[in-house]
């Protein structure tokens, strides 16, 4: 398995594609030329985007930059996601140089690292209009969408900007690391297992991972665990926090609380209650 150079099935005469994904989201690490703007209508899970890990839940809008490696790991099989795909190449250089097209080129640069934000009635309505409209009307709604997203408060998804080329060897290794982590974060993870998985020594593995993500592997593992904890706290509000810690691979509640607050800047209990106030 490698970082798949995914081909978006877009008609040759269309610059914008609207797609509906239901059930379990596509869970292979992949990238594509098109910028992806996704509205999570239903479901929770974990998103790996570039070098970082985030939880995702209903009511969020996620923007992924061109060629940004990513994978959605659904918690349940009943997810619903609406997505808009586009690439600047589909519009042509002449249009992008015009005043009407300049916003599209600007958004391409703005979205390179990816970001997420919350849905609003206006944004939800624009997704609906893009789905049903045709021709210039669809283009107008699309330009309105990227204009709103550009000025809305957001959270960056990644610290790295990804270009087109990712070697097959690197893609295979990083995909294996991500798959192993997402499958095993609930239990104790040993460095020797990862070294064996990637055919490296433990020291070489640590160096390899940090060079490509700008963080240690165990920092990444912590992000995966805390992202899953956030999903649980949002989706299952009555579950005891000690059980959340256990389901995310923590043997002690104190260690979980310490790591959660370090990453999220608030305690798990405050995070769980934040949407109720």
Residue boundaries of the structural domains of the chain: 4-156, 168-273
- pLDDT for the residue 171: 72
More confident residue, 174 or 130: 130
How many Å separate Cα 192 from the centre of its chain?
28
pLDDT of 100 above 80 = no
- pLDDT for the residue 149: 96
Instruction: Report d(CA 32, CA 96) in Å as an integer.
Output: 20
129-149 confidence digits (pLDDT tens): 999 999 999 999 999 999 999
pLDDT of 1 above 50 = no
- The average confidence (pLDDT) of the chain is 88
Cβ 146 vs Cβ 96: under 8 Å? no
Question: What percent of the chain is modeled with pLDDT above 70?
Answer: 91
- pLDDT for the residue 161: 60
Assign a CATH topology to domain 4-156: Jelly Rolls (2.60.120)
- pLDDT for the residue 2: 42
187-235 confidence digits (pLDDT tens): 999 999 999 999 999 999 999 999 888 889 999 999 999 999 998 998 8
What is the pTM (predicted TM-score) of this model? 0.77
Give backbone dihedrals phi and psi of 249, rounded to 5 degrees, phi first. 95, 10
* Of 79-88, 100-109, 193-202, the least confident: 100-109
3-state secondary structure 238-269: CCCHHHHHHHCCCCCHHHHHHHHHHHHCCCHH
The residues pairing with 84 across neighbouring beta strands, listed in sequence order, are 18, 37
The arithmetic mean of pLDDT across residues 229-254, rounded, is 92
- pLDDT for the residue 153: 87
- pLDDT for the residue 167: 65
- pLDDT for the residue 76: 83
Instruction: Report d(CA 201, CA 208) in Å as an integer.
Output: 10
Assign a CATH topology to domain 168-273: Arc Repressor Mutant, subunit A (1.10.10)
* Of 12-16, 38-42, 172-176, the least confident: 12-16
More confident residue, 168 or 162: 168
């Amino acid at each position: 398995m490698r970082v798949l150079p995914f081909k978006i099935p877009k008609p040759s005469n269309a610059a914008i594609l609207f797609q509906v994904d239901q059930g379990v989201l596509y869970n292979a690490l992949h990238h594509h030329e098109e910028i992806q703007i996704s509205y999570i209508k239903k479901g929770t899970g974990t998103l790996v985007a570039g070098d970082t890990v985030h939880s995702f839940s209903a009511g969020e809008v996620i923007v992924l930059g061109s060629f940004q490696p990513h994978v959605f790991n659904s918690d349940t099989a009943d997810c619903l996601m609406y997505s808009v795909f586009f690439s600047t190449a589909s519009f042509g250089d002449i249009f992008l140089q015009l005043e009407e097209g300049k916003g599209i080129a600007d958004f391409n640069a703005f979205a390179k690292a990816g970001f997420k934000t919350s849905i609003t009635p206006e944004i939800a309505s624009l997704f609906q209009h893009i789905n049903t409209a045709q021709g210039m009307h669809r283009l107008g709604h699309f330009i309105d969408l990227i204009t709103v997203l550009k000025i809305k408060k957001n959270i960056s998804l990644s610290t790295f900007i990804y270009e087109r080329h990712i070697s097959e060897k690197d893609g295979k290794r990083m995909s294996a690391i991500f798959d192993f982590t997402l499958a095993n974060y609930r239990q104790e993870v040993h460095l020797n297992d990862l070294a064996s998985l990637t055919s490296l020594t433990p020291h070489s593995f640590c160096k390899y991972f940090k060079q490509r993500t700008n963080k240690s592997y165990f920092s990444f593992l912590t992000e995966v665990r805390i992202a899953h904890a956030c999903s649980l706290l949002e989706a299952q509000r009555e579950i005891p926090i000690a059980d959340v810690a256990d389901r995310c691979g923590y043997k002690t509640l104190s260690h979980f609380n310490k790591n959660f607050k370090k990453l999220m800047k608030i305690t798990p209990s405050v995070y769980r209650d934040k949407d109720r106030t």
